[in-house]
Amino acid sequence: MTTVQNDLLERARDSVIIPVLVLDDPASAVPLALALRDAGLQMIEITLRTPGALAAIRAIRDAVPGLQVGAGTVTSPATVDAARAAGAQFAVSPGYTTALGRHCQALSFPLLPGAATATEVMVARDDGFDFLKFFPATACGGIGLLEALRGPFPDVSFCPTGGITAENAGDFLALGNVACVGGTWMAPRAAIRSQSWPEITALAAQALQLLRRPSGSPSA
């Protein structure tokens, strides 16, 4: 694993949770980021699913220091370039292609690529990616599949995303090959639209309190 990728893994382990955020209005970006930072979160993912996503990333980078901002739904070298230009500090992809991986490596830009099968894990690992997004987590086998993957791939760590909730996040995080979890429950889209920032801070703080590993406990 390269230094860039290892740094991404270590930050994710420290963060425990990476909120997956869909922003309809870029004006909500900074207050949302402040609400999550105030709860103690260290990393967030802004998905590139809305027209204002890049503007939201740029606004957060300018106004909220100390928060690692990633771009999600990155699927091509072109989207990597757009995310970097907006100020994203890492990229998250729902899947993996060698073209995407090599482009990020050439730029020394951290990438969390998606994988849902043993074959996909092998392809990404062969290209130097040992920290992977397990997506869609619950739809493609959940905890059972992650446990099965640990045997042949003891050197691979995962961030399960897709169907992760307050109720099951702890079960995923307890697995030895899970470094962190990703999800939307601590920042629901409805709460973002209604600008319920204290509610989001409370949800995120509660999630961290429940999921953060005690000092010295084993991690992926």
Neighbours of 9 (CB within 10 A): 20
H or E element: which one contains 121?
helix 118-126
Q: How far apart are CA 61 and CA 56, in angstroms?
A: 9
Q: Copy the structure tokens of residue 151.
A: 């045997």
Q: Phi, psi at residue 117, to the nearest 5°?
A: -135, 165
Q: How far apart are CA 94 and CA 114, in angstroms?
A: 5
- The catalytic residue positions are 45, 133
